[in-house]
């Protein structure tokens, strides 16, 4: 399977990325490197990709297991190397999975399967970064904790 993307420099340090599926995203740098802070940094896009890929897996796995999942949020924090190439060296993912009467065992299984087997992004990033994760179950019959 081939995936395509095209990145085009607009001006300053602003680029627009266009995917083969017809979607676009603006990326930019901070002012100190000539950017205008108009969009996420390219390295932030990698984290977004990992969170989206893994979240997709978790929801799909839980749905196939007939778990009553109604929400899934993945919060990521990452550390980068101090020297070039400034790859991610540590990534921590916190999953908040919402549903009514979710099985903790099923949620843990879904997250582990995603991180270790199905999420291509986490597996690729895991080549340079130590990836850790945790999760919180939130019962949808209770008010959400902020």
pLDDT score of 24: 97
Q: Domain spans of the chain? A: 1-40, 42-139
Q: Which residues of the chain have pLDDT under 70?
A: 142-146
Q: Which CATH architecture has domain 1-40?
A: Single Sheet (2.20)
Q: Which CATH architecture has domain 42-139?
A: 2-Layer Sandwich (3.30)
Residue 57 to residue 99: CA distance in whole angstroms? 16
Overall pTM surpassing 0.75 (yes/no): yes
pLDDT score of 144: 59
């Amino acid at each position: 399977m081939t995936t395509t993307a095209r990145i085009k420099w607009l001006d300053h340090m602003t680029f627009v990325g266009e995917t083969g599926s017809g979607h676009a995203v603006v990326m930019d740098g901070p002012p100190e490197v000539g950017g205008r802070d108009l969009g996420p940094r390219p390295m932030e896009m990698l984290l977004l990709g990992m969170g989206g890929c893994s979240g997709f897996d978790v929801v799909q796995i839980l749905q196939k297991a007939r778990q009553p999942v109604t929400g899934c949020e993945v919060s990521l924090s990452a550390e980068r190397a101090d020297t070039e190439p400034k790859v991610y060296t540590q990534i921590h993912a916190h999953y908040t999975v919402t549903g009514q009467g979710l099985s903790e065992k099923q949620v843990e299984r879904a997250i582990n399967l995603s991180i270790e087997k199905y999420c291509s992004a986490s597996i690729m990033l895991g080549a340079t970064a130590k990836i850790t994760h945790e999760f919180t179950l939130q019962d949808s019959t209770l008010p959400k904790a902020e």
